[in-house]
Amino acid sequence: MAHPASLVYGKPNYDQAVAFVKHSGQAFAFDPTQWIQSLGNDGGSNIRTLTDGAQVLAGLVFHPTAQWYGGSRLTCQVIASVFSAAEARRQKLGYKVMLHGLRETRAQGMPLAALYATTPAFYRALGFEPAGHRLFWKVPMHHLPTVSEGAQFRPTGPHEQAILHELYGRYAKANAGLIDRTEHFWRYHLNPYDGSTLYAYRIDFGDSLEGYVSLRHARANRILTVQDAVVTTPRSARALLTFLSHHQSVADAVIFPDAPQGSLHKLIATNGARFEPTCDEWLLRIVHVPAALEQRGYPLLDARFEIEVDDPAMPENTGRLIFEITRGHARVREGGDGRLRLDVRALAAIYTGFAHPLEMAASGLVDGSESDLALFGAVFAGPRPTLLDSF
Ligand SMILES: CC(C)(COP(=O)(O)OP(=O)(O)OC[C@H]1O[C@@H](n2cnc3c(N)ncnc32)[C@H](O)[C@@H]1OP(=O)(O)O)[C@@H](O)C(=O)NCCC(=O)NCCS
């Protein structure tokens, strides 16, 4: 392997981008042809590689987006396709490319980074912690409600993207963790890269657009698969389920995404809803602690903490902060006695509302008085963090 000092991090040239995509295809077992064809002559501008000056040794993909927490939109770097070359693993190249990527993210002023992990241990060492779920529920068709309450179901799709963005934005803002989908993420729900067909329908009540669903044809196994489901009112949730029930001549069961405490599965009165085993956890990394604390939304309460954050991978986050919330508005400044001590991983899990400080204290990642722990939990409480997207 090249000497660590000679490793170069940055945007790849075209040949390096092609090498990146091939490595990625090998690592994640997909055919790279389509991706290679879509690379511009300058290489993929969202790809980052670690090279020895020529050969690609490790890499990742950035999808700059945002997440909502407490009704506030925070910029978030979604990171995907992380790999190190098969011939160069366990030489800290994956760690290095990730750390470069996180520092670049911080330099761009983005306070958060999120990803799904094949290898949580690898990401924990980089300051990530499981911080939310992406869940699918499977229900036999005959358990679905069948009352549409005057809803109109109309085909929709990429031609109405602006309207669907607005609907989804309303839904995401009221929840926690959902990403502000870019064109790239919308494609998965309306117009997939692999050319497969999705059928999307909007759910209106008179002039009011209250939900939408996109789904795949029932497969040979008679299971209807919902790709995306967004509902903003209880009646649109009931209507969406009713719309799905209209497929029972071709499907025996439906699989749909819904938050851990989402409205869709709760509306199924019988005990038919079951977790799909494909439930995923996603991980969050607080890339810039003061910015993340200040930009988040909070309940309309007052609180004051003197915290000490420990961040072994990014020591620029380590230190003491006074974190004050006044009527839900946060202010952070350096100082204080650090009497509430948090590992940056614990902060990530608490920040999204995924874990309570007491749970993190049980793992030794938080230490503080009972009253500080209870109040810290209260300020981050909110809807259970979830994602509808994969990356
Ligand atoms: C996961 C992957 C990126 C790790 O890259 P790497 O360069 O081998 O990892 P590093 O050498 O930087 O590892 C740093 C630390 O992470 C942890 N780690 C790395 N790989 C691990 C594994 N497979 N299992 C458990 N811990 C692991 C270890 O603590 C390691 O330190 P150590 O070697 O001193 O014990 C690499 O195995 C890979 O490309 N896998 C295939 C693609 C993939 O799964 N990517 C992740 C997508 S989410």
User: pTM of the prediction?
Assistant: 0.95
CA distance 23 to 59: 9
Q: Which atom of ligand 1 is nearest to the CA of 91?
A: 11
Euclidean distance between CA atoms 124 and 283, whole angstroms? 9
Q: Is the distance from the beta carbon of residue 233 to the nearest atom of ligand 1 less than 6 Å?
A: no
Token output for 212: 């939408």
Q: Pull the structure tokens for residue 322.
A: 């006074």
Residues 6+ apart with CB under 8 A from 302: 325, 326, 327
Residue 118 in contact with ligand 1 by CB distance below 6 A: yes
Closest CA to 132 of 76, 92, 198, 89: 76
pLDDT of residue 44: 86
Q: Which residue is closest in CA terms to ligand 1's atom 25?
A: 121
220/125 Cα distance (integer angstroms): 43
Sheet containing 329-334: order of strands: 329-334, 319-326, 303-310, 340-343, 366-367
Which residue's C-alpha comes closest to atom 28 of ligand 1?
122
pLDDT score, position 148: 86
Q: Is the CB of 122 under 6 A from ligand 1?
A: yes
Residues β-bridged to residue 227: none
Q: What pLDDT, in 10s, does the model give residues 138-174? A: 999 999 999 889 999 999 999 999 999 999 999 999 9
Ligand 1, atom nearest to 121 Cα? 26
CA-CA distance, 133 to 313, in Å (whole number)?
25
| Residue numbers in the chain where pLDDT is lower than 50 | none
Residue 277, pLDDT score: 58
Q: Does any ligand 1 atom lie closer than 6 A to the CB of residue 93?
A: yes
Q: Is the CB of 45 under 6 A from ligand 1?
A: no
The atom number, within ligand 1, closest to the CA of 123 reads 16
Could you read off the pLDDT of 268-278 as tens digits, one per residue? Answer: 877 766 766 57
Pocket test for ligand 1, best of 119, 128, 281, 391 (most atoms within 8 A of CB): 119
